[in-house]
Amino acid sequence: MSTFQVLCGDFANYMDPEEEWTVDGFRTAEDAAEYARRFIRDQVEHLRPEYADAEALKQAFMAFGEYAIAPGFELEAWLAHCIANPAARKADTDYQALDPNA
């Protein structure tokens, strides 16, 4: 059975193999994409208190946030959604609950 993974890293050191890690073992591409969505939303919510302006929040995320890459996941569109729509529930940001290795 094949599994899917999410590649994560730090935008401050974008694509530096020393600063990237993978989360392996997702049963479907959608499971991996949902992990990535929650991971990104968690990053945005951690930055939101310091950057009230939408453009400043986006710039801060791209400079200081951590990214997630998964099959079928569109970071730019999701980032815009997260900035415009703050998380309303703990589950919106609880990517750890989806980690197949936990």
pTM (two decimals): 0.93
Task: Give 1's pLDDT tier (boundaries 50, 70, 90).
Answer: low
Q: What is the mean pLDDT of the chain?
A: 94
Element (H, E) at 67: strand 66-69
Predicted confidence (pLDDT) per residue in 19-56, tens digit: 899 999 999 999 999 999 999 999 999 999 999 899 99
What is the C-alpha radius of gyration for the chain, rounded to an integer number of angstroms? 13
Residue whose token pair is 């974008």: 14
CA–CA gap between residue 18 and residue 10 (Å, rounded): 10
Q: Report domain extents, the chain.
A: 12-98
Q: Averaged over 52-63, what is the pLDDT?
A: 95
